[in-house]
Structure 1
Amino acid sequence: MKHIITGIGALLASAAPAFAGGIERAPHSLAPLFENGNYAEVSFGGVDPEVSGTDIMGFSTGDVAQGYGFAGFAYKHQFNENLSAALIVEQPFGADILYPSSTPILGGTRVEVNSTSYTALLRYKFQNNFSVHGGIRGSRADGHVRLQGAGYRTTSGYDLKLDGAWGVGWVAGVAYEVPEIAARVSLTYNSSIDHDFNMKESGGPLPMTFEDEYTVTTPRSWTLEGQTGIAEDTLLFGSIRWVKWSEFKVDNFVFPISPGPTGGEIPLVEVEDTTTYTIGVGRKFTDNWAGSVTFLYEPKEGDIISPLAPVNGRKAITVAAIYTMDNIKISTGINYTKLGGADLGVGESGNKTKVAEMDDGDLWGVGVRIGYSF
């Protein structure tokens, strides 16, 4: 079971998903913290999504989702039998949406978000198979939002630039293991993180450029993960992840504008909370080769969603393989995701005006993870 146990985190994350709830591209992974001994890894890959639909005038939106690459690094150090630490660098949040100018209702609308997180963790194992882990997470992010097209009415032409800024949060969790059957259950909490951005706003209802410092909050989350041996050389694993995307807010000068006719706010960004389920099976085939297949399901949330996050729900399958040679482990995964279609709307919370309808989309992702134990 050794090759499967030590590689299961890589199998889950070998091909990063895109368009999870909100602007999440891949969930925060603590897998390196559970590796045996001292361990280091690098990961990289790319994702090619396709999302398109039709606006309320019957014009095609074209493919609004841009492809992207990702990279990561992790180092775990075992101080003694009980105490270990890890440093994990990853890119969990991001967005790259562009509506072609040929679409009159949303043409020119653009959102671009980039982020990198740095997580420092400690883990302490007790003698009764329980362990606790926790630490701090620093996140650096930047972004650009442009609202364009007849669908945005008086706010069309609004442009918001967010310079790079840091935010700090924390992580805490507990795990229970039964090594004899390769079993482990862990529960991890990730706090929300506030980023105080220097923002520059212009266009739309603004008669001039407006600059100030505002706060963007990335959401808190809970992740429950488990695995257990179910037969010789065979492992069953899965997870449930809940993210409170409703607290992802962009405080600025223009949004929310004055209350609308029903007294509701008109937010710049509005995203529903999400729950994501995964289940998979891994198997060792030879002393060098192991593989897995993982299924993911994220149900749709809400009826009409923002054009800035034009996907609602997803279903995915990831097929991965691990090759182990001495202390080196190479994991490769291929991911296919079916992205849920959605009605897009602008306006007040709970009373949005439909401006477009997106069809079911899809994406392909490929990832490679190289680990070294010492």
Structure 2
Amino acid sequence: MKLKHLSTAMILATLPATGVFAAALDRSGQSMSAFLQPGNYFEAGISALDPDVSGKDTSGNATGDMANDYYFPSAALKLQLTDKFSFGLLYDQPFGSDSEYSGKNNFVANPNDRLLPSPLSPTLGQAGLGNTITGGTSVEVDTQNLALVFGYQPTVNWNIYGGGVYQTIKGNVHLRGSAYSLYNGYDADIKETGGAGWLAGVAYQIPEIALKASLTYRSEIDHDVNIKENIPIVNLVAANPALLFGALGITDPATQAAIGKQLASLQSDGKTTITTPQSVNLDFQTGIMANTVAFANVRWVNWKDFAVQPYKFGIVSKAAGQLLPQLGKPNGFNLVDYSDDQWSVTAGVGRKLTEKWAGNVSVGWDSGAGNPVTTLGPTEGYWNVGLGVQYSPTPQTFIAGGVKYFWLGDADAVTGAHSAAGTFDDNNAIAYGLKLGYKF
């Protein structure tokens, strides 16, 4: 079988648009394929997503398409320093989110929105803030990863590798509309900050039959950030606590004093730790007939342990949980969290068509990270189908392109307090990718 050189062509053709719409904030899929190519190798690529995600709030109002288009680049350099030692630099943007609500629904600010849960305070609304809350709920999160990887190849079949990872994160969140109650008007600005982690893995190959398998672990990465937060209702009652005491019927002096102390602590920003999740990738390919390979990828991401609770948001959530027992959150709640880990599987077949052309087809499934889900990303997993093509004008160079169509899973959306906020169904997305590669 003519598979020794085919294996590289086929697996590369699958990479564009691999993980651009996965559970939670997962974006790139964090592939190690470039580092496992033979000899010296360089690649650069870009992936783009065109999603259509819409639903209805609990009042039956249509949200319109709330998911923005986005794109992200990737690049890799792998050097085979000796027969037994290799080095690589891998760049990608592993996690991210970009969405915004518009129109007339519970995720867009309205002058008549209540800032405390009815019926406790049916009259304390935006008017008390001078109608300063405008716009729709939105979120934008961007991360960047740079991995320095060292590999040791004791034989032609085995590759043991590991290295350090530097990651940056930045973003902003704006909560608007009656769905968020006292958090209507909440803003969080996360300035870009960095953190360090590590990866380790092992690969096995038999080039003669195009067999290659690899298992890669990536650690979680902590980011200690100062999030600039703004909570309009807190600013209002901090200036005049009697508004809150009157709205909630709080007359006990000791309780008033305790609440006043909490309000005072909200006048300054505090540290927040954001921990991006650990993950495991299993990749496999093998020749199945002349000029044909089968390939598969399985990915696990530990989203179940992921949670973001900004400093001021957390203080207010704990106070709200104690003062409003109907929320069912006496210990407070998070801005974002997930209930399940993510599992995703992609499998397909690639075939060499001519000396310069190759193509592939694939199917994919993603479990999602639990349902109900946050209103900032209201989908629950997916199924997809993909097509890829690769053109190699010379034995050392190639250009690969791919497209995938996603059927996004239906989801029930909830706020940070896990209060029902809406339903989202019959949604979809299209992903595109382009990659250039050079062997030297």
Query: 1:355 and 2:421 equivalent?
Result: yes
Quote the offset at 1:198 in angstroms.
2.4
Matches of residues 70-149 of structure 1 in structure 2 within 5 Å? 70-105=72-107, 108-127=136-155, 129-149=157-177
Q: Secondary structure at the match of 1:152?
A: helix
Query: For the Cα contact (< 8 Å) 2:107–2:175, is it kept in 1?
Result: no
Query: 1:152 and 2:187 equivalent?
Result: no
Quote the offset at 1:105 in angstroms.
4.3
Q: Which whole-Å CA distance do the structure 1 matches of 2:13 and 2:163 have between them?
A: 24
Which residue in the other structure is 1:224 paired with? 282
| TM-score w.r.t. length of structure 1 | 0.94
Quote the offset at 1:11 in angstroms.
2.5
Q: Which amino acid in the other structure matches residue 13 of structure 1?
A: L
Q: Percent identity?
A: 35
Count of aligned pairs: 371
Which residue in the other structure is 1:253 paired with? 311
Structure 1 pair 8–191 and aligned structure 2 pair: CA distance change class (3 A): farther
Q: Which amino acid in the other structure matches residue 233 of structure 1?
A: N
| TM-score w.r.t. length of structure 2 | 0.80
Query: For the Cα contact (< 8 Å) 1:16–1:47, is it kept in 2?
Result: no
Query: For the Cα contact (< 8 Å) 2:336–2:416, is it kept in 1?
Result: no
Higher helix fraction (1 or 2): 2
Structure 2's unaligned 5+ residue stretches are 110-135, 236-265
Query: 1:237 and 2:295 equivalent?
Result: yes
Query: 1:338 and 2:407 equivalent?
Result: yes
Structure 1 pair 255–211 and aligned structure 2 pair: CA distance change class (3 A): closer
Q: Which amino acid in the other structure matches residue 231 of structure 1?
A: M
Query: For the Cα contact (< 8 Å) 2:385–2:405, is it kept in 1?
Result: yes
Which residue in the other structure is 1:62 paired with? 64
Query: For the Cα contact (< 8 Å) 2:21–2:49, is it kept in 1?
Result: no
Query: 1:169 and 2:197 equivalent?
Result: yes
TM-superposition CA deviations, 1:3-48 (whole Å, max 9, x none): 5321344333212443311111121111111112111111124211
Rg (Cα) greater in structure: 2
Structure 1's unaligned 5+ residue stretches are none
Q: Which whole-Å CA distance do the structure 2 matches of 1:16 and 1:240 have between them?
A: 12
Quote the offset at 1:174 in angstroms.
0.9
Higher strand fraction (1 or 2): 1
Which residue in the other structure is 2:433 paired with? 367
Q: Let me know the Cα RMSD of the aligned residues.
A: 1.8
Q: Which amino acid in the other structure matches residue 370 of structure 1?
A: L
Query: For the Cα contact (< 8 Å) 2:63–2:103, is it kept in 1?
Result: no
Quote the offset at 1:69 in angstroms.
1.6
Quote the offset at 1:298 in angstroms.
1.1
Query: For the Cα contact (< 8 Å) 2:341–2:370, is it kept in 1?
Result: no
Which residue in the other structure is 2:362 paired with? 294
Q: Which whole-Å CA distance do the structure 2 matches of 1:313 and 1:328 have between them?
A: 35
Q: Which amino acid in the other structure matches residue 91 of structure 1?
A: Q
Query: 1:321 and 2:383 equivalent?
Result: no
